[in-house]
Structure 1
Amino acid sequence: MKYTTLPKTDIKVSKICLGSMTWGNQNTEVEGHAQLDYAFNQGVNFIDTAEMYPVPASPKTQGATSKIIGNWLKKTGNRHNVVLASKIIGRPSDYTAHIRSTGLSGHSIVEAINAELKRLQTDYIDLYQIHWPERDTNTFSTRDYKHKPDDIWKDNFNEVLHKLDEQIKLGKIRQIGISNEKAWGTMRFLEESKAHCLPRMKTIQNAYSLLNRIYEGDMAEISMRENIGLLAYSPMAFGVLSGKYIKETAADNARLKLFPRFSRYSSKSCTEATKHYLKIAEDNNMTLAQMSLAFVTQQDFVTSNIIGATNLQQLKENINSIYVTVNNDVLKQINEIHKLIPNPAT
């Protein structure tokens, strides 16, 4: 395994982070524990979860993922050997109304942290992240920003940082980060921290893959110049970059078969681009999965690459991508496809 540190900290993390959002829905607790055991034995010490997980969000399963992790930590005694990251939901919506509808109020933050600590069976979370912005902006499948003057959100960056600072001082969380954030929100958090000597966002967890390189547009520069590291999620574009959908080898419980709401990953342009990337991988004696993951991991602005799997075979292949290098010739071929079919999964 390869390691780095969370920016501006001494917290050592593996360059591969174990994602967990299928545990408690597509995966059982036994399967989740098997993944944790295998990843830990391969040197992965970084685990990411969220109060909302598993995905899709549901009142019946909410919090199950973190409980699975908590039970594993208790069973193995590995709490001090791993770095735990979790997330609080952002802007309220019908999708997460079963969790809470009070946004990032001070009470919400305290409530969310305390509940997550209980689920994880620990007294501290290493990295606590805001899952998505509270303001109305172009997150997830919304590509372009459209301003809405009637948005009821009021600028509360300072208040949020103060409440997170309070929780840091209480020892409940160690570092903070953002997720699904845009350039404006990222810089507002950084500016507010600097101006008022408040805790600084250390990481940003956004989607990044061969099929979605939007991060390179402006966020990559922020990452490099401001030293806020990307925790790349969906590096396999919901499994599309395994090639299993175009090869028609996807299992019945594959995510895009179970959850059609993520159809942006199965568009015609995604399929076409994936076919091109598959050929590049095969021509260079790599699996598509390993080429896709290696491409993400070796980017200078990426702190850690969050991988997910629904079975151990996938997990083994994904973790082994850490030993794969995308050379300049392969990168040139990849970029030619990117020019032809840019960012089809956004």
Structure 2
Amino acid sequence: MKYTRIPHTDIRISKICLGTMTWGRQNMEDEAHEQMDYALDQGVNFFDTAELYPIPAKKELYAVTEELIGNWFKKTGNRDRVVLASKIAGRAEFTKFIRTTGFTRDSIIEAVEGSLKRLQTDYIDLYQLHWPERNTNYFGQRGYNAHAIDVWEDNIHQVLETLRDLVAEGKIRHVGLSNETPWGTMRFLEESKVHQSLPRMLTIQNPYNLLNRLFEVGLSEISMREKIGLLAYSPLGFGTLSGKYLTEIPPRKARVTLFPNYSRYSGETAVEATKKYAELAKEHGLSMAQMALAFVNTRPFVTSNIIGATSMEQLKENIESIEVNLSDEVLEGIEAIHKAIPNPAP
């Protein structure tokens, strides 16, 4: 395994992060525990979860993923071997069953307390805002066109004050963003620069893969100049970059098959690009999934690459991507495809 550090800290984390969003829906508890056992044995010490998981969100399954992780901590005693990240859900139609969502002081405290209880731990190493409260372009929205209907009032200072108090209490160690834009990222960073008692956002968890490299447009410079590390999620684009959906009959238990509304990486242009990446991998004798993951692993702004798997076979292949070195010829081929079909998935 290769390791990095959470920026501005001495916390050493694996370059591969174990994602957990299928646990409790596509994967049952024994499978989740098997994945954690294996990942830890392979040197993966960074796990990412969220109060909303598993997804798609469902009232009856709210926060089950955190419970499964908590049960594993209790069973194995491995809490001190894991750097644990979780997230508070933002305001949305599909989160109304949770509580009065939004990042009010009471809501943040309630969310943290709930996660700590379910995870059976006294602290969370990295606590993230799952997506912005304000209307903006995230979750596949390519352009920003929500300003006229946005009723959000800037509460970033108050959010950071609440997070500061939770850090002081020892309930969370550090904080990060998720699904955030360049404006939002800089707004949080500037607030903590001006008011130095407030905690600094250290990471940003956004989508990044061969079909969606939009992070490079504005956020990559912020990431590198401000040292706010990308935790890349969906590095395989809901599994499309494994090539498994290029068959005439889609795999029966795969995510996009089960939840066809997860079509972000399945548009006509995205499929065209996926076919080209599949051909490139085959030409160079590479697993398509490992080529896609290795590309993400080696980007200079990526702090950790969040993989997800529903089978042990997938998990092993994904973790092994850390040992894959892409030749200059492969990287040139990737850039040629990207130039011809740039960012087909938003």
Provide the TM-score with structure 1 as the length reference.
0.98
Moved beyond 4 Å, runs of 4+: none
Code of the residue aligned with 2:166 in structure 1: it is Q
Rounded to whole Å, the distance in 1 between the matches of 2:301 and 2:8 is 14
Rounded to whole Å, the distance in 1 between the matches of 2:308 and 2:250 is 15
Q: Which residue of 2 aligns with 1:191?
A: 190
SS in 2 for 1:345: coil
Q: Which residue of 2 aligns with 1:325?
A: 325
Q: CA shift at 1:221, angstroms?
A: 0.3
CA displacement 1:137-195 (0-9 Å, x = unmatched):
01112110014234221001100000000000000000000000000000000000000
Q: Which residue of 2 aligns with 1:151?
A: 150
Rounded to whole Å, the distance in 1 between the matches of 2:253 and 2:97 is 25
SS in 1 for 2:246: coil
Q: Structure 2, unaligned stretches of length 5 or more?
A: none
Q: Which residue of 1 aligns with 2:278?
A: 278
Code of the residue aligned with 1:323 in structure 2: it is E
Q: Which residue of 1 aligns with 2:256?
A: 256
**What is the RMSD of the two structures over their aligned residues, measured on CA atoms?**
0.9
SS in 1 for 2:173: strand
Q: Which residue of 2 aligns with 1:163?
A: 162
SS in 1 for 2:272: helix
Q: CA shift at 1:247, angstroms?
A: 2.9
Q: Which residue of 2 aligns with 1:56?
A: 56
Rounded to whole Å, the distance in 2 between the matches of 1:210 and 1:132 is 22
Q: Which residue of 2 aligns with 1:177?
A: 176
Contact 1:293/1:321 (8 A) holds in 2:
yes
Q: Which residue of 2 aligns with 1:106?
A: 105
Rounded to whole Å, the distance in 1 between the matches of 2:333 and 2:147 is 40
Q: Which residue of 2 aligns with 1:30?
A: 30
Contact 2:47/2:85 (8 A) holds in 1:
yes
Rounded to whole Å, the distance in 2 between the matches of 1:102 and 1:5 is 31
Rounded to whole Å, the distance in 2 between the matches of 1:173 and 1:186 is 20
Contact 2:87/2:127 (8 A) holds in 1:
yes
SS in 1 for 2:204: strand
Code of the residue aligned with 2:125 in structure 1: it is D
Q: CA shift at 1:250, angstroms?
A: 4.4
Contact 1:84/1:127 (8 A) holds in 2:
yes
Code of the residue aligned with 1:236 in structure 2: it is L
Code of the residue aligned with 1:339 in structure 2: it is K
Rounded to whole Å, the distance in 1 between the matches of 2:308 and 2:264 is 19
SS in 1 for 2:153: coil
Code of the residue aligned with 1:159 in structure 2: it is Q
SS in 1 for 2:147: coil
Rounded to whole Å, the distance in 1 between the matches of 2:81 and 2:304 is 17
Code of the residue aligned with 1:169 in structure 2: it is A
Rounded to whole Å, the distance in 2 between the matches of 1:282 and 1:101 is 50
Contact 1:93/1:101 (8 A) holds in 2:
no
Alignment of 1:140 onto 2:129 = no
Code of the residue aligned with 1:108 in structure 2: it is S
SS in 1 for 2:263: helix
Code of the residue aligned with 1:345 in structure 2: it is A
Structure 1 residues 336 and 196: CA distance shift in structure 2, 3 A = same
Q: CA shift at 1:249, angstroms?
A: 6.5
Q: CA shift at 1:253, angstroms?
A: 1.4
Rounded to whole Å, the distance in 1 between the matches of 2:75 and 2:345 is 39
Alignment of 1:232 onto 2:228 = no
CA displacement 1:42-61 (0-9 Å, x = unmatched):
00000000000000001010
Rounded to whole Å, the distance in 2 between the matches of 1:270 and 1:149 is 30
CA displacement 1:45-91 (0-9 Å, x = unmatched):
0000000000000101010001111111111100000000000012x
Q: CA shift at 1:248, angstroms?
A: 4.4
Q: Which residue of 2 aligns with 1:312?
A: 312
Provide the TM-score with structure 2 as the length reference.
0.98
Q: CA shift at 1:94, angstroms?
A: 1.5
CA displacement 1:196-250 (0-9 Å, x = unmatched):
0111000000000000000000100000000000000000000000100103474
Rounded to whole Å, the distance in 2 between the matches of 1:219 and 1:249 is 37
Code of the residue aligned with 1:264 in structure 2: it is R
SS in 2 for 1:167: helix
Alignment of 1:93 onto 2:92 = yes
SS in 2 for 1:260: coil
Contact 1:53/1:65 (8 A) holds in 2:
yes
Contact 2:245/2:251 (8 A) holds in 1:
no
